[in-house]
């Protein structure tokens, strides 16, 4: 049962570079989410998607772009990475309007 897989798991990039974090789920879940985890902030929602081709901003969307052309994929792009975007990024999904969200293992991103 693959569930949610994120890639890359670890990435170091330079300020100003474009970076894309991939997320793939095998459950055919309708909803997908991107969170970031930072010390002192817990988990904060960046973007979410209720279905293919439908995306919405979360709490901290600035500097990020998402797309959802296929139900199973939800890539997150940092168009011009900044040091403040150094964080751990978690992709998540859930089947429908229920409440339990399932997380991937995380992508550690360092911007230097």
Partner 1 sequence: DQQVKQNSPSLSVQEGRISILNCDYTNSMFDYFLWYKKYPAEGPTFLISISSIKDKNEDGRFTVFLNKSAKHLSLHIVPSQPGDSAVYFCAANSGGGADGLTFGKGTHLIIQP
Distance CA 27, CA 11 (A): 26
What residues from 10 to 29 belong to the interface with partner 1 (CB under 8 A)? none
Residue 84 buriedness (CB in 10 A; 0-12 / 13-18 / 19+) = exposed
The region of 18-26, 35-43, 63-71, 73-81 touching partner 1 under the rule CB under 8 A is 35-43
The reply to whether 55 sits near partner 1 by the rule CB under 8 A is no
Cα 5 → chain centroid? 11
Residues that bind partner 1 (CB under 8 A): 4, 31, 33, 35, 40-45, 48, 50, 56, 58, 90, 92, 94, 96-106
């Amino acid at each position: 049962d693959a569930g949610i897989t994120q890639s890359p798991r670890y990435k170091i990039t330079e300020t100003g570079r474009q970076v894309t974090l991939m997320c793939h789920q095998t459950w055919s879940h309708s909803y997908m989410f991107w969170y970031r985890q930072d010390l002192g902030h817990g988990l904060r929602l960046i973007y979410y998607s209720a279905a293919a081709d439908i995306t919405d901003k979360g709490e901290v969307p600035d500097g990020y772009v998402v797309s959802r052309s296929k139900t199973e994929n939800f890539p997150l792009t940092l168009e011009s990475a900044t040091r403040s975007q150094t964080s751990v990024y978690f992709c998540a999904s859930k089947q429908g309007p229920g409440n339990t969200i399932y997380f991937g293992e995380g992508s550690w991103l360092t911007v230097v």
